[in-house]
Amino acid sequence: MPVPSWQKSSYCGTGEACVHVATTAPDAAVWVAGSADPGSHHLTVSAAAWTAFLRAMKDPGAA
- Is residue 1, in this structure, part of any structural domain at all? no
pLDDT of 46 reads: 92
Tell me the pLDDT of the chain (63 aa) as tens digits.
567 788 888 777 766 678 888 887 777 889 988 876 766 788 899 988 988 998 998 887 765
Task: State the pTM of this model.
Answer: 0.70
- Is residue 14, in this structure, part of any structural domain at all? yes
Domain of residue 34 covers: 7-62
- CB under 8 Å, gap of 24 or more: what pairs does 35-43 form? 38/6, 39/4, 39/6
- Is residue 2, in this structure, part of any structural domain at all? no
- Is residue 15, in this structure, part of any structural domain at all? yes
How many distinct helices (H) and strands (E) make up the chain? 1, 4
pLDDT of 62 reads: 65
